Structure 1
Amino acid sequence: MLRPRPSRRLSRLLAPVLAAALAVPLLTAARQARPAPYGDLLTVHAPVTAPGPAPAVRIRHRAVEAHEKATGRVRWTYTRTGRRPLDVRPASGHAFTLWSDGLVTDTPRADGRPVRWHRAIPGFDGRATGVLQPLDPAAEMLAVVTPRHIAAYRTADGDLRWVLPARSGCAFSAARTVRRSRVLLVAQPCTEPAAWTDQVVPVDVLGRVTPGRLPLGNRSAGTRRNEALHRPVPGAAPGPRKGIASSR
């Protein structure tokens, strides 16, 4: 009986090793070729090396741009492939952006990376004025106003905290809002005659302002504060319903 030559036996042993070695660069190249999620492209032009004033944020061409107020030096830019920013709302530690495809993003204002979260906004009609509305001075909650709904997100992680639907026959007008202390008044014009109290909706971090509502515990576990509980008043207008946000 003939035995395999040593060279042939060695070739058989080396074949799987060589195949695995060749697969590594191919897998690496495929991974590098994959587009970033949501078409994100963040470019840091001036890395932050020390604490300092927050940059100003604006829309420039098809990008969100952060620049230093004193020198005008661009700190970072953020674009999305095939999309354009419609509105940007800077807040303490945040740069909220509404995009042409109805996506809302939150970018760290200081250094621009990474994007904290992305949320798709159902029912967006393409009109950007007044859609993004921080609900408190610290911008812990962000309201997104569309004709059919007001949705509130916890800005730390993008968690959807509550959704308030418009009244039947009425629609929210994001461009017609007024702030009174910590309350945001949103116009809700109706097609049929209605009392003015039905056409102005007050909301805050907890949802619609109504007597006897139950707080939703919107703050994260590490920063949650004590919130008093009240019994609901019979016959009061229904409050917002709590929801679950889509995955990042």
Structure 2
Amino acid sequence: MAVLHHGGTEPPDAEPLPEQSATARREQQSPAALPHQPPRALPGTPPARRSLNRLLALALLLAAGLLAVAHQIRPAPYGDHLTSGPPAHTARARGGVVEAYDGQTLRWRYARVGRRPLSVLPTRGQAITVWDDGLVTDTDGRSVRWHRALPAATDWLRARGGAGVLRPLGRGILAVVTPSRIAAYRTADGDLRWVLPARAGCAFRPERAVRHGHALLVAQPCADGAWTAQLVAVDDLGGIAPHRTPLGNERPGAGRPEHPRTEKALARPR
């Protein structure tokens, strides 16, 4: 007689199911049930590369230090060497140095390496100097405000000196007279305002220039020419001539317009 089993259990003699592999059991588990595995550490930097990085960093620090030292010891532009001080009323050339004084008190000194001042013009607490290398400078004791080079004048300046070269024209304009030309600069910033070249066959004589009112009369001897061509008159606007167009010599925004009215002024009708 056959025996029936109740309760849903397998008969004792049933064959067991084959055992699942460990890989299959892991695949059947949910991700949350998987054990936490830390990320694998990357291999460290090789010792040779670490040494190279340190050498590069050291080289960069050394280069930065050398640049800083070079910045400190680099020569000043134009060879300037200024012992600064407050503005002074008078200035003069003494040997290879420009010295500025208030009474008997030395305020500042200005020199250029290997150069010699030929003539100094004090003006409004500043000193304008022409040097033996054809450079014109302006300093107020605190800084050298500007430098301007005179073309083709070095040999002549070294041979003849700077007598009469620096000529103030008024209204903040300076005339620099050399044999080949008269150049006018704005003293506030060294801006070139106008140039008057000598006539062909003629040459200016700065030591023979004289002031007459607002005009500067400059001798211009000519090898062959009328006497009227051997004298020129200039002021802050340039060569004096009838019906000339005035220049705006002030710095922009300094009060007067840069391009003033040029028409002829007429008297009011009576």
- The one-letter code matched in structure 1 to 2:80 is D
Residue 216 (1) aligns with residue 247 (2):
yes
Contact 1:147 1:173 (C-alpha < 8 Å) held by counterparts:
yes
User: CA offsets per residue over residues 41-82 of structure 1, 9 Å max, x none?
Assistant: 0013xx43xxxx83321111110001221xx22111111111
Map 1:43-54 to 2 at 5 A: 43-44=83-84, 47-48=85-86, 54=88
TM-score relative to the length of structure 2: 0.74
Counterpart in 2 of 1:29?
A: 69
User: CA offsets per residue over residues 85-105 of structure 1, 9 Å max, x none?
Assistant: 000000113210000011000
Counterpart in 2 of 1:235?
A: none
Distance apart, 1:144 and its partner CA? 0.5
- The one-letter code matched in structure 2 to 1:179 is R
Counterpart in 1 of 2:146?
A: 117
Counterpart in 1 of 2:31?
A: none
- The one-letter code matched in structure 1 to 2:88 is A
Contact 1:217 1:224 (C-alpha < 8 Å) held by counterparts:
no
Unaligned residue ranges in structure 1 (runs of 5+): 232-248
Match of 1:94 among 116, 122, 126: 126
CA distance in structure 1 between the partners assigned to 2:134 and 2:146 by the alignment: 14
Range that drifts further, 118-127 or 220-229: 220-229
Counterpart in 2 of 1:225?
A: 256
Counterpart in 2 of 1:188?
A: 220
CA distance in structure 1 between the partners assigned to 2:222 and 2:58 by the alignment: 71
User: CA offsets per residue over residues 185-241 of structure 1, 9 Å max, x none?
Assistant: 11111111413x32111111110010111122221112252544148xxxxxxxxxx
Residue 55 (1) aligns with residue 89 (2):
yes
CA distance in structure 2 between the partners assigned to 1:73 and 1:84 by the alignment: 23
Contact 2:100 2:106 (C-alpha < 8 Å) held by counterparts:
yes
Larger relative contact order, structure 1 or 2 (CA cutoff 8 Å, min sep 6): 1
Unaligned residue ranges in structure 2 (runs of 5+): 1-41, 265-270
- Secondary structure, counterpart of 2:144 in structure 1: coil
Structure exhibiting the larger radius of gyration computed from Cα positions: 2
Residue 198 (1) aligns with residue 229 (2):
yes
Sequence identity percentage: 55
CA distance in structure 1 between the partners assigned to 2:78 and 2:126 by the alignment: 19
Counterpart in 2 of 1:241?
A: none
Distance apart, 1:16 and its partner CA? 2.9
Contact 1:146 1:173 (C-alpha < 8 Å) held by counterparts:
yes
Higher helix share: 2
TM-score relative to the length of structure 1: 0.80
CA distance in structure 2 between the partners assigned to 1:181 and 1:91 by the alignment: 19
Match of 1:68 among 93, 102, 109: 102
CA distance in structure 1 between the partners assigned to 2:263 and 2:245 by the alignment: 6
Contact 2:245 2:262 (C-alpha < 8 Å) held by counterparts:
yes
CA distance in structure 1 between the partners assigned to 2:262 and 2:252 by the alignment: 18
Distance apart, 1:10 and its partner CA? 3.9
Measured on the aligned residues, the alpha-carbon RMSD in Å equals 2.1
Counterpart in 1 of 2:194?
A: 162
